[in-house]
Every structure is written in structure tokens, then in C-alpha cells.
């Protein structure tokens, strides 16, 4: 199951209390105060794990606590610090304050870690309060509480290129041809229910990551179809490949389908429509010539690159690989 949003509650450990104690030893008539300080509470630390690709874990566990600091004790013995709690998240996870919406951190590298909630400081024992004029203090400090936060986690997968288009435009078949990915492929709409990633090899040694985004339809921003919830996964992409089905079973008007999806990108509100885009006329092995001509003419007017593809026969796949690499060399808008 692919889960890309989660809410968790974190509580860093409280600090231990300071100790009130005095030395009571034989032949030491003026032993003085000997209460040790409490230990610090443990932090809650988030860490990016390259082996995770979903937030499913947080559907079953939502509360995370740092270890409590131990109390100080006599003989000037300081309490033990509480243990840190490490929470593993996928690369591409954004951590937001659940109350204010403020972005606290964005994990983009494997092994990257961030202390998200700091443990409370341990309280001072009475030995820390001794002075020349107060040689037998009875003052101690309680431990300080650790930070408490409600966090919203949002996963935005890291990919170089995003594949977009209407349902059944051929995105899943294309990514299976371009890479070793094996998504579910069927002849009914919305076969792909979650983003799929594939690694495309170019020139035998250079690679790029392509994301297959579940099909968009007109009105997706209002919740039609699968809605636009998966569009966050192409916010980081350098460019987009827009597949348009030009076969007899595809949309009656390929230009209208192209513009409808682009309109949804604009209405999503993350400037996705400004990303470099390649239009790909898919299913050329069963194409309707009038649809192809209409789509090519529209792309010429708009200044868009239009490739003719067939994942079945392999037509245009080599040209698409070159075009994908060109997209990745363009800086993000």
C-alpha cells in the first residue's frame, strides 16, 4: 500500500530531577551538599532511509517518545541521559508543524538526520547551589519537560522526469519499456493507483529516474477520478512527458485531452505548468492519422516538442531517451 501522508505525535524525554543530599561519612564532620544533577531527556530524531518508499509505517504507529533522563543521586552522581528515539522516514519526506503548517525540514539525501524535538535539560542538584555564604543549600531543580510536537509528514518522491496524461494513455507500458519497472498494466482506466518509479539508463552509464503519475482527468482538482493528490510527486521533477493517446480507442480530440491535463496542472497551484514539457503521441501502432496531424499542428503552434511513440513496436523510444536526458539538463524553472 502506498501512503504519502501521515500525522505523528512526538514527545522528547523530560529531564531528570536534581538530588537533595549531604555527605554523611565518618571522620568528615563538614561533608557538605552532594546532590547530583539530573540527566537530560532524550531527543526525537528523524532520519532519511533510502530503503523506505512509503509512510505506511506511520499508519500503525503514530506516537514517539524520547527516553526520560534519570534523577540525580547522592555522592554528586549525575543522572543518566535519556536515550534518543530515531524515527526512519523515506527520502523525499517533508516535515511540517501540524498546527502552523511551517516546513521544519525536507529530507532529500540518504542518511540525513534532524533533531525534531529536543529533550528537556536535567535539573541541578543542591551541590550546584553551594556558595561561600550558603554552604548547606537545600535548593534543587526539577527536570525540564521535553518538546511536544504534532507533525505532518508529506512524501514527495524524488524523480527527474514525470509521466503525465489521461488514464490509459500508455504511461505504465512506457515506463516498463524504458526501465526495469513492472507496474500493473490493464485495459481499463485508473489501473495505476499510486506513483511508480523506473530508472532509465542512457548511454550505458548515465541514469535518470522517471515517475509514472496516476492518470489525471478534467476536474481532478475538484476530486474527479483519483483527484490531483499525486501531483505533489512531480513538484521536484526537472521536466514532464505528457502522453496523449492517438489510437482509435483514445480520446476523440487529443488536443482537448492535452489542454485539459495542462489546465489541471495550472489549477494545482505549484507552477507545474511552467516545467519543461515534451508531448508524446502514444500508441502509434494503432494511431488515427487525423489525430496525429491535429496534435502535431497544435504542438508546432505552442512551440512544444512532439514525439511519436509506440511502446509495442519500440518506435520513438530511442528519441525519447535522448529527449529525457535533455530535459534533465535543463535547470528547474
**pLDDT of 278-292, one tens digit each?**
999 999 988 889 999
User: How would residue 232 be classed by pLDDT, with cut points 50, 70 and 90?
Assistant: confident
Instruction: Write out 118-179 in H/E/C secondary structure.
Output: CCCCCCCCHHHHCCCCCCCCCCCCCCCCCCEEEEEEEECCCCCEEEEECCCCCHHHHHHHHC
Average pLDDT of the residues in 285-310: 91
Nearest CA to 151 out of 55, 50, 15 is that of: 55
Alpha-carbon gap, residue 30 to 135, rounded angstroms: 10
Res. 192: pLDDT tops 70 = no
Res. 259: pLDDT tops 50 = yes
**pLDDT of 62-103, one tens digit each?**
999 999 999 999 989 999 999 999 999 999 899 999 999 999
In this prediction the pTM is 0.74
The pLDDT, as a whole number, for residue 148 is: 97
The pLDDT, as a whole number, for residue 327 is: 78
Average pLDDT in the chain: 86
Comparing 204 with 289, the larger pLDDT belongs to 289
The pLDDT, as a whole number, for residue 190 is: 46
CA quadruple 167, 188, 229, 162: dihedral positive or negative? negative
The pLDDT, as a whole number, for residue 168 is: 81
Three-class DSSP category at 86? strand
Comparing 180 with 7, the larger pLDDT belongs to 7
The pLDDT, as a whole number, for residue 223 is: 59
Q: Using a pLDDT cut of 90, give the percent of the chain over it.
A: 46
Alpha-carbon gap, residue 21 to 77, rounded angstroms: 11
- CA–chain centroid gap for 60, Å, is 18
* The C-alpha cell that represents 312 in the structure block: 509495442
**pLDDT of 21-74, one tens digit each?**
998 777 776 778 999 999 999 999 999 998 888 888 898 899 999 999 999 999
The pLDDT, as a whole number, for residue 204 is: 64
Domain with CATH 3.40.50.300 in the chain: 161-329
Alpha-carbon gap, residue 278 to 256, rounded angstroms: 16
Alpha-carbon gap, residue 257 to 275, rounded angstroms: 18
The pLDDT, as a whole number, for residue 229 is: 66
Domain with CATH 2.70.210.12 in the chain: 1-155
Average pLDDT of the residues in 133-137: 89
161-329 maps to which CATH number?
3.40.50.300
Contact present, 290 and 249 (Cβ < 8 Å):
no
The pLDDT, as a whole number, for residue 146 is: 96
Three-class DSSP category at 312? coil
Three-class DSSP category at 73? strand
Q: Where are the beta strands (DSSP E) in 213-297?
A: 239-245, 277-282
Question: How many degrees, rounded to 5, is the angle at CA 10 between CA 9 and CA 14?
Answer: 140
The pLDDT, as a whole number, for residue 33 is: 92
Topology annotation, domain 1-155: Spo0b-associated Gtp-binding Protein; Chain: A, (2.70.210)
Comparing 150 with 327, the larger pLDDT belongs to 150
The pLDDT, as a whole number, for residue 27 is: 73
Torsion over CA of 185, 190, 192 and 195, rounded to 10 degrees?
Answer: 150
**Concatenated DSSP letters of 198-229:** EEEEETTTEEEEEEEPPPP-TTGGGT-TTTTG
Nearest CA to 41 out of 164, 142, 186, 188 is that of: 142
Contact present, 76 and 9 (Cβ < 8 Å):
no
Q: What burial letters (b/e) apply to 284-319, b meaning 16+ CB within 10 Å? A: beebbeebbebbbebbeeeebebbbbbbeeebbeee
Three-class DSSP category at 5? strand
| 44-49 vs 148-155, strand pairing mode | unpaired
Question: How many degrees, rounded to 5, is the angle at CA 239 between CA 233 and CA 241?
Answer: 90
Contact present, 236 and 158 (Cβ < 8 Å):
yes
Amino acid at each position: 500500500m502506498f501512503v504519502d501522508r501521515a500525522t505523528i505525535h512526538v514527545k522528547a524525554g523530560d529531564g531528570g530531577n536534581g538530588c537533595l543530599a549531604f555527605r554523611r561519612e565518618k571522620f568528615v564532620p563538614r561533608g557538605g551538599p552532594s546532590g547530583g544533577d539530573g540527566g537530560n531527556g532524550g531527543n526525537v530524531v528523524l532520519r532519511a532511509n533510502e530503503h523506505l518508499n512509503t509512510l505506511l509505517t506511520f499508519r500503525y504507529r503514530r506516537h514517539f517518545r524520547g527516553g526520560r533522563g534519570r534523577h540525580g543521586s547522592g555522592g554528586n552522581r549525575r543522572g543518566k541521559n535519556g536515550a534518543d528515539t530515531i524515527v526512519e522516514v523515506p527520502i523525499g519526506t517533508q516535515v511540517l508543524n501540524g498546527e502552523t503548517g511551517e516546513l521544519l525540514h525536507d529530507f532529500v539525501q540518504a542518511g540525513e538526520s534532524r533533531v525534531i524535538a529536543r529533550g528537556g535539560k536535567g535539573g541541578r542538584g543542591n551541590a550546584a547551589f553551594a556558595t561561600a555564604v550558603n554552604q548547606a543549600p537545600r535548593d534543587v531543580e526539577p527536570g525540564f519537560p521535553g518538546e511536544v510536537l504534532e507533525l505532518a509528514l508529506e512524501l514527495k518522491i524524488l524523480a527527474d522526469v514525470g509521466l503525465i496524461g489521461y488514464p490509459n494513455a500508455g504511461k505504465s507500458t512506457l515506463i516498463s519499456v524504458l526501465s526495469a519497472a513492472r507496474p500493473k498494466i490493464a485495459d481499463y482506466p485508473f489501473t495505476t493507483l499510486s506513483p511508480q518509479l523506473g530508472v532509465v539508463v542512457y548511454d550505458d552509464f548515465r541514469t535518470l529516474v522517471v515517475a509514472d503519475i496516476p492518470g489525471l482527468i478534467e476536474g481532478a482538482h475538484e476530486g474527479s477520478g483519483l483527484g490531483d493528490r499525486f501531483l505533489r510527486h512531480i513538484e521536484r521533477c526537472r521536466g514532464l512527458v505528457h502522453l496523449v493517446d492517438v489510437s482509435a480507442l483514445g480520446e476523440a480530440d487529443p488536443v482537448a485531452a492535452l489542454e485539459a491535463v495542462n489546465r489541471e496542472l495550472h489549477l494545482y497551484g505549484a507552477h507545474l505548468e511552467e516545467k519543461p514539457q515534451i508531448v508524446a503521441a502514444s500508441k502509434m501502432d494503432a494511431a488515427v492519422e487525423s489525430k496525429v496531424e491535429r496534435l502535431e499542428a497544435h504542438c508546432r503552434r505552442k512551440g512544444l516538442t512532439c514525439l511519436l511513440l509506440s511502446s509495442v513496436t519500440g518506435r520513438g523510444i530511442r528519441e525519447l531517451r535522448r529527449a529525457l536526458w535533455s530535459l534533465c539538463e535543463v535547470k528547474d524553472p
